[in-house]
């Protein structure tokens, strides 16, 4: 069956100080999403969807798309590659975009932009995160058995392993019971300190280091798209207003669907460790981790072969 990996790569990487999605971080200048693609293909995925800004298309073809289109998936089929564009052309006419706004409308809008090219179960990820080899196999095994409606899945990570000493990060703080996601709320300013403690600076409260968080590693079926559209349009009508930085976020949308009784989300665990680049200072640590993974044989010398 067809199962796609959907990569959200249209973000500007403002805190990182550049386009971190295309920063050659691996020992042979591999970008982070190449590791996600490699791991997904060996887990069984056979379609890759890039959500990008229109001006990134030529670059994405050159970096990943063209060589991927020549590869064979684990089931023997050619790897399908598709592109979706996140820009203001997909925003409904009833909403007037503030003249000063340059930032995309967030992860709900990003995934919604892929509705025309995703017709199968999909795993949705950030382009600038490393999720681990085991995570892709775990979510693939769940995706192939998800019913068409009313169910979704995610891989959860521990908060203490996902924060940065170099500044605040936003994380989807989860409550989980019996393997099911019960609530998820967005903590927008999570700070890790040198002694290992964590705090939500936006709400001035401590956070348990072992809290499960969403790192935008979601598994959906195509039935999610009508809900995404309705939620995004409600966001534009009721929340966005003239705020040039307002974002419509997947964790908040998922929580809304769960509280309305329309969605049940299983929470999967991965044996691997997440890491990513929010700030330039994170780059050295990530580069060293990837180098070790190549040296131990987790990845071949050349991911593109």
Contacts of 100 (CB under 8 A, 6+ apart): 244
Q: Give pLDDT tens digits for 91-140.
A: 999 999 999 988 889 999 999 999 999 999 999 999 888 999 999 999 99
State the average pLDDT over residues 60-89.
89
Asked if pLDDT for residue 276 goes beyond 80, the answer is no
Asked if pLDDT for residue 15 goes beyond 60, the answer is no
C-alpha triplet 189, 130, 196: angle, nearest 5°: 45
The predicted structure's pLDDT at residue 10: 84
Q: Give pLDDT tens digits for 248-263.
A: 999 999 999 999 999 9
CATH domain 4-295 topology? Spore Coat Polysaccharide Biosynthesis Protein SpsA; Chain A (3.90.550)
Q: Which residues pair with 78 in a beta bridge?
A: 72
The per-residue b/e assignment along 21-37, b for 16 or more CB within 10 angstroms, e otherwise, is bbbebbeeebbbbbbbb
The predicted structure's pLDDT at residue 270: 79
C-alpha to C-alpha distance for 238 and 4, rounded to whole angstroms: 32
Mean pLDDT for the chain?
89
The predicted structure's pLDDT at residue 245: 87
3-state secondary structure the chain: CCCEEEEECCCCCCCCCCCHHHCCCCCCCCCHHHHHHHHHHHHCCCEEEEEECHHHHHHHHHHHHHHHCCCECCCCCECEEEEEECCHHHCCCCCCCCCCCCCCCCHHHHHHCCCCCCCCCEEEEECCEECCHHHHHHHHHHHCCCCCCCEEEEEEEEHHHCCCCCCCEEEEEEEEECCEEEEEEEEEEEEECCCCCEEECCCCEEECCCCEEEEEEEEECCCHHHHHHHHHHHHHHHHHCCCCCCCCCHHHHHHHHHHCCCCEEEEEECCCCCEECCCHHHHHHHHHHHHHHHHCCCCCCCCCC
């Amino acid at each position: 069956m067809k199962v796609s990996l959907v990569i959200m790569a249209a973000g500007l990487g403002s805190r990182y100080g550049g386009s971190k999605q295309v920063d050659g971080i691996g020992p042979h200048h591999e970008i982070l999403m190449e590791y996600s693609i490699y791991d997904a293909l060996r887990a069984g995925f056979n379609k890759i969807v890039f959500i990008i800004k229109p001006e990134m298309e030529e670059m994405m073809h050159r970096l990943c798309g063209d060589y991927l289109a020549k590869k064979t998936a684990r089931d023997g089929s050619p790897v399908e590659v598709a592109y979706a564009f996140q820009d203001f052309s997909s925003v409904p006419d009833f909403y007037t975009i503030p003249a000063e706004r340059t930032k995309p409308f967030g992860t709900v809008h990003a995934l919604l932009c892929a509705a025309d090219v995703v017709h199968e179960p999909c795993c949705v990820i950030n382009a600038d995160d490393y999720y681990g080899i085991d995570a892709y196999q775990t979510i693939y095994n769940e995706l192939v058995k998800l019913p068409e409606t009313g169910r979704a899945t995610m891989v959860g990570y521990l908060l203490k392993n996902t924060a940065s000493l170099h500044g605040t990060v936003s994380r989807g703080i989860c409550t989980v019971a019996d393997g099911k996601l019960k609530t998820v709320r967005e903590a927008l300013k999570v700070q890790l300190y040198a002694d290992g403690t964590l705090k939500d600076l936006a709400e001035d409260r401590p956070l348990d280091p072992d809290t499960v968080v969403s790192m935008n590693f979601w598994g959906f079926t195509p039935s999610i798209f009508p809900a995404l559209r309705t939620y995004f349009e409600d966001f534009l009508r009721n929340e966005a207003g003239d705020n040039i930085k307002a974002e419509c976020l997947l964790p908040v949308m998922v929580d809304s669907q769960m509280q309305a009784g329309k969605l049940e989300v299983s929470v999967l665990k991965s044996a691997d460790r997440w890491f990513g680049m929010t700030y330039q200072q994170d780059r050295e640590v990530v580069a060293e981790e990837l180098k070790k993974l190549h040296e131990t044989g987790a990845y071949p010398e050349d991911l593109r072969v």
